[in-house]
Every structure is written in C-alpha cells, then in structure tokens.
A and B are shown apart, each in its own frame.
Chain A
Amino acid sequence: QVQLVESGGGVVQPGRSLRLSCAASGFSFGAYGMHWVRQAPGKGLEWVAVISDDGSKKYYADSVKGRFTISRDNSKDTLYLQAISLRAEDTAVYYCARDRGWLTPETYWGQGTLVIVSS
C-alpha cells in the first residue's frame, strides 16, 4: 500500500536551517509529482512547494521562495525540503502529499512532521 513518512522535524532556532524528508513506498515514486503542505498550530492548510516527477520543475509559495528548496532523489524514493533562515512563522506541521496532476495533492498524504522555530 502507498505510504508517505515524513521525518526531520524538531525545534530549531530562528535563522537556522533544517531538512525534512519524506520516504515513499508502495508506488512508482518517480512517476509522480510531489507536494509539501504545512499547517501552523490551530491554523489552516498552506501550500509550500511542488516538484515534478523528474525534478525538473519546481514551484513555491511566495512566503517561502528563496528560503526553501524542494528536491527529490528518485533512486531513494525520497522527497526533501531544505529550509534556511527559518522564522517563527514557519512553525507548523509539514505534510508531504502525492500529486495527481495540475498541482492537486491527492489521496496520499504523510502523517506530518512538526517544526518549531523558537529560541
């Protein structure tokens, strides 16, 4: 069955960096685009970034452009999100999700990993 498992969250000081991972299994990872979506505590969903199946196309929300980088390693069935210059407002649960096309996160989401940016 399809599984997406995020890792790499934790407490990080403002201005520092963090790399999140999303390990995929149960499907042909290299055939699908992938998303990162986040949710601040008690708040709504916020789309962060998407990467195409082969990694050639990447799109970002304005709120993270220039600070976050989405990437993937299809040989390891793993999606990444590199975040630098972290701010308090980046505190959130970060989910990875599979794309069904046209930037639509579909049925398969991970359980999320919590990032807390605090001194």
Chain B
Amino acid sequence: QSALTQPASVSGSPGQSIAISCTGTSSDVGGSSHVSWYQQHPGKAPKFMIYDVTNRPSGVSDRFSGSKSGNTASLTISGLRPEDEADYYCSSYTSSSTLVFGTGTKVTVL
C-alpha cells in the first residue's frame, strides 16, 4: 500500500491552467475507475472535488476537471484563482479492496 506519487508543489498565475499528476500502478490507478481528488485548506477537513476519475460532485466548480491515462491520473484547474491555493490529494481504490491516497501537492497561486 505505497502512497500514490504526486509532485510536491505546482504553481501558476491567476487565470492560468495547471495540472497535478497522480501516479500509481496497475493495482490501483491503472486498474481502477475509482480515482478521486480532494482539496484541503490549512486546518480544514478535505473537500471532495472529483470522483470516478472525471465526475464533479454537486457544487464543485467546473474549473476543476479530472482525467486518467494508464497508471497516471490528473487534476486540471483552469482559470486559477487565489482561493485555489491549497493542498490537493488524489486517492484510488485498489485491487486489495483498500484505499490509497497520494502524497499530496501544494498549489501556489503566484
């Protein structure tokens, strides 16, 4: 149950688009359609942003989108805003019927 690999940090200017990668194996990301993404601001509980690779829960901005290719999933944030500055985590269902989170990515809005 090794954590999924994410870049430690990603940055962008307001209005730009950024992408965060989440790399696993064929036992998790590559073999699962149940990849999710969470946003976490300091001192707060995580916020559910994307589920089943591409789906947005009700109320989540359409500036957030998800995709997957092989063993790597990605979260794209379009039209970057100051309030998007936060930590982001991916997660995946695994072939062992467990859940694994990514290492986390700090997004900075320049």
Q: Which residues of A contact B (CB under 8 A)?
A: 35, 37, 44-47, 50, 59-63, 95, 100, 102-107, 109-112
Q: How far is the CA of A25 from the CA of B98 in the complex (A)?
A: 26
Task: Give the chain A neighbours of B34 by CB distance below 8 A.
Answer: 102-104
Q: Determine which of A50, A63, A103, A109 lies in contact with B46 in the assembled complex, contact meaning CB atoms within 8 Å.
A: A109
Q: Is the beta-carbon distance between B98 and A45 smaller than 8 angstroms?
A: no
Cβ contact within 8 Å between B46 and A45: yes
Could you tell me if B45 and A110 are in contact, using CB atoms closer than 8 angstroms?
yes
Give residues 35-76 of B contacting A (CB, 8 Å): 36, 38, 40, 45-48, 51-52, 57
Are A100 and B51 touching (Cβ within 8 A)? yes
Interface range on chain B: under 10, 10 to 19, 20 to 34, or 35 or more?
20 to 34
Can you name 17 extra interface pairs (CB under 8 A) apart from A45-B40, A45-B104, A59-B98? Answer: A37-B101, A44-B87, A44-B89, A44-B104, A45-B89, A45-B91, A46-B101, A47-B100, A59-B97, A95-B46, A103-B97, A104-B36, A104-B91, A104-B93, A105-B46, A105-B91, A112-B45
The answer to whether B3 touches A95 (Cβ under 8 A) is: no
Point out the residue from A59, A60, A104 that lies within 8 Å of B51, measured CB to CB.
A104
The majority secondary structure among interface residues of chain A is strand
Distance of A45 Cα from B87 Cα, bound (Å): 10
- Which B residues lie within 8 Å of A63 (CB)? 1
Bound together, the chains give a CA A35 to CA B100 distance in angstroms of: 12
- Which B residues are CB-close (under 8 A) to A45? 38, 40, 46, 89, 91, 101, 104
Q: Is B24 an interface residue (CB 8 A)?
A: no
12 intermolecular pairs with C-beta atoms under 8 Å apart:
A44-B87, A44-B103, A47-B91, A47-B100, A60-B98, A95-B46, A104-B36, A104-B51, A105-B46, A105-B48, A106-B51, A107-B57
Q: How far is the CB of A92 from chain B (nearest CB, A)?
A: 13
Q: Bound state CA distance, A77 and B23, in angstroms?
A: 37
Please name the residue on chain A nearest to B51 by beta carbon: A104
Q: Which residues of B contact A95 (CB under 8 A)?
A: 45-46
